Every structure is written in C-alpha cells, then in structure tokens.
Structure 1
C-alpha cells in the first residue's frame, strides 16, 4: 500500500547501527518501539518513547524514511510526505534486542 511518496529512491538495504536505540543505550534510557533509518541504518526510538530519537535523527539528517524495526514490522514511513510506504524488503534484526517497556 504505497501512497504518494517522492523519497522511495532514498531507501537502501542497511545494517542496523545498534541492538536498540543508539541514544537511549548511551544514556541508559528506556524506549517503547524502535525505528530504523532506511538510508543509513540508524536505530532510534519511536515518538511514544521519551527520547523520540528516530524523529530527532530525521531532523538532524533529513533522511526521510524509517522502518518499523521492533520486531521488523514490514511497514515504512516517510517523514517528509507524512505517509506509509511499502518497503522493498525488511531488515533483519541484529539481535537479540533488549526489551524495555
């Protein structure tokens, strides 16, 4: 179910950068769900988490597309176009990923 998204060309096959939210792991913070940047592999926490590090990564880098990563959920989101997108493939977890909530 792909909606209008002009950023699908930025989707890459990536290697996850961490076994959890990079920033939360560094400061000992808990997360709710994880999101994976499909341009560079950054693993950040969702907007329901205290840190909202996936969205923060988007604002810093302008990398537009994330994947639901905890566990791989098969959906993508474009921050710029604010729409769900189909992903060409799912990223395998680098696990096990610690659970926090």
Structure 2
C-alpha cells in the first residue's frame, strides 16, 4: 500500500480521539485513522460511525486501526483488510492510558446498549 492506495505515511494523526465526537461531546468505542489525511474517527460500532462518514465525505479509502497494539488497515472502497502496511507518522495509536470506550467522563453507564452491531 502506498500513495496510490490513498496512503500518505508522513501525515500525523489529528489528535488522540475522534475529532467529530470531541466536537459534539460524543464518545467512541474504538478509533480509526485515515491513512490519507490523519483524521481520527470512531469505528462503525460507535454511535457516531465517524470514520465511515469521513470516507463517504472525502473519498479517502484507507484507514488504519488507532488502537494500541493493532496495525491493520481497512480499505472502504474495496472492502479489503490488510494485516499490515506502511509505517505511519507517530503516534500510531490513541494514548495507552485513554480508555476504550472513551474518552473518560463521556461514556454512559449503559454504553454497550448504544453500540452498532
């Protein structure tokens, strides 16, 4: 996977959490990082599903997991999983001390009932 696949390894992530959830006061289950522009969005199990919304609004097809210890890539355009890919600019995951779901203080007690399956 290279720039021809929508990946720019030099672009840093936009932050430690889902940019859109942070703007609206929402919360996320897991995080995904756009490999084109670094946008951090929440996964499809999250209430906001902002990573997919980012793909739909920008056409940026590839995300990388932004979870500690995970290095897989997903291509929305081809619906293909890649177990690995190029190294991206650091940091490569959310802070290890940030909980999932997160962020701390915004996750409701009944959070599991709000997940998309």
CA shift for structure 1 position 98: 3.2
Q: Which runs of 5+ in 2 are unaligned?
A: 102-117
Give CA deviations for 1:8-37 in whole Å, capped at 9, x if unaligned: 532111201011000101111110000000
Structure with higher Rg: it is: 2
1:60 aligned residue (45, 57, 77): 57
Runs of 4+ residues deviating >6 angstroms = none
Q: Higher strand share goes to which structure?
A: 1
TM-score (ref. length: structure 1): 0.82
CA shift for structure 1 position 94: 6.2
User: How many equivalent pairs are there?
Assistant: 96
Of residues 83-92 and 12-21 in structure 1, the stretch that sits farther from structure 2 once superposed is 83-92
Q: Which runs of 5+ in 1 are unaligned?
A: none
CA distance in 2, matches of 1:24, 1:70: 16
TM-score (ref. length: structure 2): 0.72
Query: Cα gap change, 1:8/1:83 in structure 2, threshold over 3 Å: closer, same or farther?
Result: farther
CA distance in 2, matches of 1:15, 1:72: 18
Q: Report the counterpart of residue 12 of structure 1 in structure 2.
A: 8
Query: Is residue 16–residue 94 contact of structure 1 (8 Å, CA) maintained in 2?
Result: no
